[in-house]
Structure 1
């Protein structure tokens, strides 16, 4: 029984490591890290930024897995939410640029000017949807 549990634990740990590596490779491949470093002009600290991204993902997973609460209350959660939102927004925009979906969208709806308003509307809609989901617990 102990060997079975040990084997399942090792397999689960390895599978989680492979999935996490795939997610981080995807983030790096679509250029989120490079774009963030270019926008913040911190090219000399690229290793530090990458280390913090990996540490944040790892610590976030550990906190989620073991139910660890983050000390500091509302201000810390506000900063965490802001940072997470910025990162997810950068991830989504990098993916959209990689797939060239915005130029296709603008050609299909014949939008000559004002693409920034379409992007803003998508971001606001995503924010309102997340707010409704997390504060009411309902999808609609």
Structure 2
């Protein structure tokens, strides 16, 4: 019985590590981190970026595995976390769209010459409003 549990722990941690490595590799391949560093003009702090990315991945996994509660800040900490995650997802989506060169293709297919940025903004605002309605209306419980 003990050997089976040790084996399951090993398999679970190995699978989680492989998935996390795949996600980070995907983010590096599509150029999220180099674009972020270039946009903020912080080339001299690349080692800090690498350390923070690795630390965030490790702490996120530990937080997920052990279900560590956030006992400080309450709603303020949750708001800062939500804003940070939203900014990251926005950067990820724009980097992916730029990498795949999807924006010109969408513009040609829907025959939109001007205003593609407003279309993207409206999609993002719709996602925000839908998320706010979902989470403030207790629809998830």
TM-score, normalized by the shorter chain, greater than 0.5: yes
**Inter-CA distance 138–104: structure 2 relative to 1 (3 Å threshold):** farther
Q: How far is 1:52 from its partner?
A: 1.3
Offset of residue 137 of structure 1 = 4.4
2: CA distance, partners of 1:7 / 1:132? 43
Gaps of 5+ in 2: none
- Taking the TM superposition and a 5 Å limit, the aligned residue runs for 1:14-93 are 14-70=14-70, 71-93=72-94
- Whole-angstrom CA distance in 1 between matches of 2:101 and 2:41: 25
Higher relative contact order (CA 8 A, sep 6+): 2
User: Structure 1: which 5+ runs fail to align?
Assistant: none
2:8 is the counterpart of 1:2:
no
Cα deviation digits, residues 3-44 of structure 1 (max 9, x gap): 111111111111110110000000111011011111111111
| Count of aligned positions | 139
**Higher deviation after alignment, 38-47 or 127-136:** 127-136
Moved over 6 A (4+): none
Output the TM-score relative to the length of structure 1: 0.90
TM-score (norm 2): 0.90
Q: Secondary structure at the match of 2:18?
A: helix
d(CA) in 1 for partners of 2:38, 2:49: 12
Indicate conservation of the 8 Å contact 1:33/1:50, yes or no. Answer: no
Question: 2:74 and 2:19 mapped to 1: Cα distance?
Answer: 31
Q: Distance between the aligned counterparts of 2:61 and 2:68, measured in 1?
A: 10
2:99 aligned residue: 98
